[in-house]
Amino acid sequence: MRALTGSELLSLWEHGASRHALDRSALLAAAARPDWPAEAIADLPLGAVNASLLQLRAACFGARIDGHADCPRCGQRLAFALDARELLAPAHDDDLTPREAEVAGLRVRAPSLRDLAAVAADADAERAARELLARCTLAGDAARLDEAALRAVEEGLDALDPQADLALALQCVACGHADLVQLDAGQLLWEEIEARALVLLREVHHLASAYGWSEAQILALTPARRASYLAMVGAA
């Protein structure tokens, strides 16, 4: 996967800024995989979408991910660093066929961005999870399952699409509490795009002010040339 050019990145940032996070992930996945039909992305298995987002992030910003999470017990902010490639299971990258499985008497399929978006407004996490399962149930009655069967279905869905749910095990340095932190591939990519867009806009501003060049001309410069000119005008 190739990195985005400066003008592609600015265009994505401009179009993504006002969107809901899930809608933005679809936009970013379409940029990552121009070979996928854009209208199909919302219905692809989440794992394939997550993989495309992590690959684009690695291509544009490097594989290292620096993030942080707050300890749910004591509130301590925990920093973590990981390699995007550790989160990627290459075997599934290009597998866009609907993934289905039989588990606990149900026939289920892997969830998509459209499924997540449909339940995103529900503040009750348990009700949202049940609604999500109902959407992804192709045959059988998910409402009749007990706790143990629900857990089995959850594990079945994880096995069906391992990259749908990106989690990292973290232990709190302050209180020792160990927990799984959910990683949002769309958010991890978006934060980088937003930060880079603001840097690019500032660079355009400095060079356009100094030389009168257009935005397109400035963005077409290689990063090395742009940095040299920025140093010459005292804006590096």
Q: What is the binding site for Zn ion (CB under 5 A)?
A: 71, 73-74, 76, 172, 174-175, 177
By C-beta, is 71 or 200 nearer to Zn ion?
71
Of the candidates 199, 196, 183, 163, which has an alpha carbon nearest to the alpha carbon of residue 81? 183
Smallest gap from residue 173 Cβ to Zn ion (A): 8
By C-beta, is 170 or 207 nearer to Zn ion?
170
By C-beta, is 26 or 170 nearer to Zn ion?
170
Smallest gap from residue 179 Cβ to Zn ion (A): 9
Smallest gap from residue 80 Cβ to Zn ion (A): 14
Of the candidates 38, 35, 3, 31, which has an alpha carbon nearest to the alpha carbon of residue 16? 31
Helix 21-32 to helix 6-16 angle, to the nearest 10 degrees? 160
Smallest gap from residue 168 Cβ to Zn ion (A): 15
Of the candidates 39, 69, 62, 24, which has an alpha carbon nearest to the alpha carbon of residue 166? 69
Return the number of other C-beta atoms located less than 10 Å from residue 70's C-beta. Answer: 12
At residue 200, what are phi and psi to the nearest 5 degrees? Answer: -60, -45
By C-beta, is 175 or 216 nearer to Zn ion?
175
